[in-house]
Structure 1
Amino acid sequence: MPAAICGLLAVLLGLPFAGGTAPGAVDATVAGWIAHLSPGVLRALVLPTEPYVVIPLGVLAVVLCLRAGRRADAVFALGAPLLAILLTSWLLKPLYDRWKNDTLVYPSGHTVSLVAVLTVLVLVTRRAVVAVLAALALLAATAGLIGMGYHYLTDVVGGTLFAVAVVLLTWSVPRPAPAPSTG
């Protein structure tokens, strides 16, 4: 049920902005709050969305699953973020047709890749500290993406909701339990 709610909210959030370029009132307000941050700080805040950070985190999730003997989970740890990224790039961005700086921005692909991998890590580790660190990384990335002018807040929120929906939907697919250890 949480996956369906996140997916529905992601779809509905983008509707008022489809085919447009203008920020909403909340988008403009939040951008104003972040505008005072220096370019160096903003570059540091957006760092968690970079492929050289996201990819190793994704590999870590797969390795953790494999080390625990959870091969099916390892497949989902790899596949769920890839599915979320592909659906965002090939389906949702063209469908919503929201532009900023000559780029399709809804939902945020930066956010989808980061949040999908972080959600997988939270599910794989089942540790509260991982969830807290993931939330902090998302908050930092949100400020960076908005401050650097890459995205509006609604793009980031839509990307977050969509990534969580895809990961939770794929994670809930039934798969066989791992075989008990014989050694």
Structure 2
Amino acid sequence: MSRILALVAVLCVVATVALGLVYAGGHSPGALDSWAEHAISGLGRTTLDVLVLPTEPFVLIPAIAIIAGVCAYRRRWPDAALAVAGPALALGLNTWVLKPLFDRWKEGILVYPSGHTVSLVTVLVVLVLLARPKVLTVVVGVVLLCCAAIGMIGLGYHYLTDIVGGAFFATAVVTGLRAVTPRRVPAPSAG
């Protein structure tokens, strides 16, 4: 499992960098970004505000605390650490390394990769790795990400490509951390 997670992490880093290089130093949307903005343009402000809620710190910080708390209660210390370290590391790297490196701007703000997306997707990937049933967790996560993406694009926070880059980067960080985290091997059954 660690090798698969490491491969996913590497592929997501490559995708983040490749997409970032296409838009590095840019101030204008690409064709896909323009299409997404046009497709979403009819939604009202209230709807967009609701759709973007899953990316807000007042939603995500309690979610991280609950996930870490449940893991700690179950004495799953590496999982509790992943729930906290994944988002913290991803956000720190995104804010202080990737955004300045790729230098993509929108309305005076660095936007690639999307920090809103990194925040949300790190928590979602942690949930996918820890929760059961996984298929249901993935479906709920994809729906939340799509809703948040519509909200972020409609409110003018990000281009679609910023969101895709943020999703790749967040996935890379969490799967990479999980791949290198020592896992406790269950003891064989005595009876």
Deviation above 6 Å: which 4+ runs of structure 1? none
Residue 147 (structure 1) aligned to one of 144, 147, 154 = 154
Aligned position for 2:176: 169
The code of the aligned residue for 2:154 comes to: G
The code of the aligned residue for 1:48 comes to: P
Deviations 1:126-154 (A, max 9, x none): 32222211111100000000000000000
Q: In 1, Cα distance between the equivalents of 2:183 and 2:30? A: 46
Q: Does 1:73 align with 2:79?
A: yes
Q: How does 1:79-118 map to 2 (within 5 A)?
A: 79-118=85-124
Deviations 1:89-139 (A, max 9, x none): 000000000000110000000000100011101111132222211111100
Q: Does 1:135 align with 2:142?
A: yes
Task: Give the length in aligned residue pairs.
Answer: 180
Residue 69 (structure 2) aligned to one of 55, 63, 68 = 63
TM-score normalised per structure 1: 0.94
Decide whether the 8 Å contact of 1:65 with 1:124 is kept in 2: no
The code of the aligned residue for 1:119 comes to: V
**How far is the alpha carbon of 1:57 from its aligned partner?**
1.3
Q: Does 1:42 align with 2:48?
A: yes
Q: In 1, Cα distance between the equivalents of 2:76 and 2:186? A: 9
Decide whether the 8 Å contact of 1:64 with 1:124 is kept in 2: no
The code of the aligned residue for 2:90 comes to: A
1:172 aligns to what SS in structure 2?
helix
Q: In 1, Cα distance between the equivalents of 2:185 and 2:10? A: 27
**How far is the alpha carbon of 1:176 from its aligned partner?**
4.5
**How far is the alpha carbon of 1:179 from its aligned partner?**
7.7
Segments of structure 2 that go 5 or more residues without pairing to the other structure are 1-6
Query: Measured at CA, do residues 126 and 4 of structure 1 come closer, stay the same or move farther in structure 2, by a change above 3 Å?
Result: farther
Q: Does 1:22 align with 2:28?
A: yes
2:180 aligns to what SS in structure 1?
coil
Q: What fraction of aligned residue pairs are identical, expressed as a percent?
A: 47
Aligned position for 2:132: 126
The code of the aligned residue for 1:139 comes to: C
Deviations 1:14-42 (A, max 9, x none): 11111111000000001100000001111
Q: In 1, Cα distance between the equivalents of 2:60 and 2:78? A: 21
The code of the aligned residue for 2:151 comes to: G
Q: Does 1:160 align with 2:167?
A: yes
